Amino acid sequence: MASNGDDLGTVLGVWAHPDDETWLSAGLMARAVDQGRRVVCLTATRGEAGFPADDTRTLDERTAIREAELTASLTALGVTEHRWLQYSDGGCATADDDEATAVVAAIIDEVHPDTVLTFGPDGGTGHGDHVSVCRWTTRAVDRMTGPRPRLLYSTKLREWVDTFMSGWDPSSVMMIEGFRPEMVEPDDLDVWLICSELDLDRKVAALRAQVSQIEPLVQAVGVDAFRDWNRDEFFRAPLPADVDTLALATAYSRGVR
């Protein structure tokens, strides 16, 4: 049976862009903070590409906006430790894997987390940055010579996908044509957090602090629907089949068919 996340201990989240951590694990982070646990968030890029094509601000201005928004978001959750990697938004697939893995491994060694949270091997949306971060994090944990933290991949319940994505155009979210996110059954989950109303209030506040990315969506779907969409958080342990999935997703992200 999946836990509600109260057994995660010290948590390290490894993510690609500002807001990934909040979409997928804000409730778990907030609960861990409330329990007096250490929570550290690592972000590979500053999300500078996450603006409309006609946005008139400079790259430096966009970067500053994303940095400030993430700071405000983590503050809303009570998370005080954050680290940046130095990769460009959209450029992780072409980064040196050994170098990136070594950096993530060094942070794991420093933090000594009990649990590491990151993307599943398909990146959730097929995004090359997401897939790369999963690859680096998985390799970093696998190569540890001492005690290994528990590695958990973000995922989605089949019922959640059927409920919340049935009316969406997949191309508006997914990065690979015809791609559908991984869908699992309840028995496949290791962690399933259903946010309380208080925890959900905090998660929604943290998401909406990342105004440039989130507010247009909130206005489009309405606050109530947005809350329902973000109530659940799902994580599972790695599986042997993930090796093949990660290899295929990596090939797609690098333009290899």
Predicted local confidence at residue 257, as pLDDT: 45
Predicted local confidence at residue 178, as pLDDT: 63
Predicted local confidence at residue 172, as pLDDT: 54
Torsion 101-104-106-112 (CA) sign: negative
Predicted local confidence at residue 174, as pLDDT: 56
**Structure tokens, 42:** 């690592």
Distance CA 248, CA 244 (A): 6
Closest C-alpha among 108, 148, 125, 127 to residue 238 = 148
Query: Which homologous superfamily does the CATH classification assign to the domain defined by 11-249?
Result: LmbE-like (3.40.50.10320)
Whole-structure pTM value: 0.95
- Domains of the chain by residue range: 11-249
Predicted local confidence at residue 181, as pLDDT: 79
Q: What is the mean pLDDT of each run of 10 residues along the chain (257 residues)?
A: 94 98 98 98 97 94 98 98 97 97 98 98 94 98 94 96 74 61 94 97 98 95 96 98 93 77
Predicted local confidence at residue 221, as pLDDT: 93
Name the burial class of residue 128, with classes exposed (0-12), middle (13-18) and buried (19+) by CB atoms within 10 angstroms of its CB.
buried
